[in-house]
């Protein structure tokens, strides 16, 4: 059985795009991938003592992982730089302090020598503890440098044994760095507590969690994630929103990141020509403990502070990310003087209503991702903007009128039948 969670974290780019129904145009606009740096993947494998259990297709969890890794190494795309890190592979003792340091880079992240990597994997023997939190920190360090995509694939059969270093909080810290690193997790045991922990780790960075019970499922899923790393990604561009529209930065189509202080309003500007449509969405990630009831509001406003359209969402603490979006088609009109399409400055205001209990840091602000797309407005956009129903407005009006007339005729006929019945 495979269960996947929707990506939710600081990197909320895909979620933001889906919220507003966006498609990025070709070109080198802000936030578009450059394709200059190789994608990097770090496979993080649990080699703790519990991996000896023989419950995956009649073989041990370790044997299944080794077989999957060998097949993945054969199928890894040439352009991907791949590394392998272990946790719990070297210290067999009972000293918890030492056991929680047990993470090592088995094969360094870089151009792949398949034979060398397979030889390294063959030496692994289930040994010690399960220091997921410390291993994630080291795995993130292994991926430093370069602007290509970065992905950690964590495979484990048990929960972290090194609290209070919560691996979910570690994942949130990694996401807050804004380095574009995604963590995907795979669980080898259908355990509710393990599922919750691995899901939380994945969601914090916009990754996925998958529960696998067979060796071929493990192979297929890891292959899929390694291949996904080779796909072009959108890299967000840092933008600093202002306290008012007049001082706000002008944004072009692209993906932007910012920080929103608790309860703060952030302003941005977009230049829109007649006949164009603005599509925008925003995602705010709760990268620390916040009170359950919160919301985010995205408004498109004129320079004269007249609201055009808004999108809003509220949360109850059941997810780490809150997203909303809006669309505004500008009607086609020519400027009276020049005959050129009339331009309009649209102010985008992002308002959050997050709050935190005492003792929780409110600085820096919560990670914010803003997606802006300016496209040619589709046919019928003026109708949508005016009535919200497109050309279907006239059909609805006709149906209402027809229903009204039919009601009158039916009422008259009913009264006539009653009168005839009485006279008889």
Closest to 265 in 3D by CA, of 248, 247, 244, 250: 244
Q: Would you say how long the chain is, in residues? A: 424
Instruction: Identify which of 144, 124, 148, 128 has the alpha carbon closest to the alpha carbon of residue 69.
Output: 124
188-217 b/e (C-beta count within 10 Å ≥ 16 → b): bbeeeebbebbbbbbbbbbbbbbbbbebeb
pLDDT at 283: 87
Sheet of 307-315, strand order: 265-273, 343-352, 294-301, 307-315
Query: Distance between alpha carbon 191 and the CA centroid of its chain, in Å?
Result: 25
Give the pLDDT of residue 146: 84
Q: How many CB atoms lie within 10 A of CB 355?
A: 14
Residue 3: per-residue pLDDT: 37
Q: How far apart are CA 373 and CA 341, in angstroms?
A: 19
Q: Which CA distances in Å does 114 have to 43, 68, 121, 370?
A: 14, 14, 11, 40
pLDDT digit string (tens) for 93-108? 989 899 999 999 999 9
Q: What is the pLDDT of residue 333?
A: 63
Identify the three-state secondary structure at position 346. strand
Per-residue model confidence (pLDDT) at position 390: 39
Sorted by sequence, the CB contacts under 8 Å of residue 160 that are 6+ apart come out as: 130, 131, 132, 133, 166, 167, 197
Q: Given this model, what pLDDT does residue 1 score?
A: 36
**Residue 214 in contact with residue 188, Cβ under 8 Å?**
no
The answer to whether 20 and 280 have CB atoms below 8 angstroms apart is: yes
Q: List, for the chain, all residue ranges whose pLDDT scores fall below the cut of 70.
A: 1-36, 232-235, 317-320, 332-341, 377-399, 418, 420-424
The structural domains of the chain, ordered by start, are 33-229 (3.40.50.410), 237-384 (2.60.120.380)
pLDDT at 101: 92
């Amino acid at each position: 059985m495979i269960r996947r969670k929707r990506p939710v974290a600081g990197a909320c780019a895909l979620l933001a795009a889906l919220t507003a129904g966006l498609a990025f145009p070709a070109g080198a606009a802000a936030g578009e991938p450059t394709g200059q740096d190789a994608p990097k993947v770090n496979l993080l494998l649990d080699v703790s003592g519990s991996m000896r259990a023989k419950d995956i297709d009649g073989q041990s969890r370790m044997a299944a992982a080794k077989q999957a890794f060998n097949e993945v190494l054969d199928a890894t795309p040439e352009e991907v730089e791949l590394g392998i890190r272990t946790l719990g592979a070297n210290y067999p003792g009972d000293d918890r302090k030492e056991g929680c340091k047990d993470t090592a880079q088995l094969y360094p992240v870089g151009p792949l020598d398949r034979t060398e990597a397979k030889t390294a994997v063959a030496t692994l023997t289930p040994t010690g503890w399960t220091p997921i939190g410390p291993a994630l920190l080291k795995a993130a360090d292994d991926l430093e440098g370069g602007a290509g995509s970065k992905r950690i694939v964590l495979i484990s059969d048990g929960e972290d044994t090194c609290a209070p270093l919560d691996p979910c909080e570690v994942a949130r810290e990694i996401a807050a760095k804004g380095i574009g690193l995604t963590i995907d997790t795979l669980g080898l045991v259908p355990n509710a507590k393990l599922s919750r922990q691995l899901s939380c780790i994945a969601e914090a960075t916009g990754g996925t969690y998958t529960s696998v019970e067979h060796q071929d499922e493990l192979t297929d899923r890891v292959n899929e994630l390694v291949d996904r790393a080779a796909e072009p990604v959108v890299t967000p561009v840092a933008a600093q929103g202002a306290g008012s529209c007049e001082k706000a930065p002008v944004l072009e189509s692209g993906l932007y990141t910012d920080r929103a202080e608790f309860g703060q309003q952030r302003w941005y500007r977009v230049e829109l020509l007649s006949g164009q449509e603005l599509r925008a969405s925003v995602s705010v990630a709760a990268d620390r403990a916040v009170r359950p009831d919160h919301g985010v509001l995205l408004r498109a406003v004129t320079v004269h502070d007249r609201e055009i359209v808004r999108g809003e969402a509220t949360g109850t603490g059941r997810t780490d990310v809150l997203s909303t979006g809006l669309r505004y088609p500008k009607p086609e009109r020519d400027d009276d003087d020049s005959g050129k399409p009339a331009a309009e400055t649209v102010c985008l205001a992002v308002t959050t209503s997050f709050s935190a209990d005492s003792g929780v840091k409110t600085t820096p602000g919560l990670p914010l991702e803003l997606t802006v797309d300016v496209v040619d407005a589709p046919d019928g956009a003026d109708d949508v903007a005016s009535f919200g129903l497109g050309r279907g407005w006239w059909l609805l009006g006709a149906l209402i009128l027809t229903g009204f007339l039919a009601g009158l005729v039916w009422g008259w006929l009913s009264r006539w039948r009653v009168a005839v019945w009485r006279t008889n």
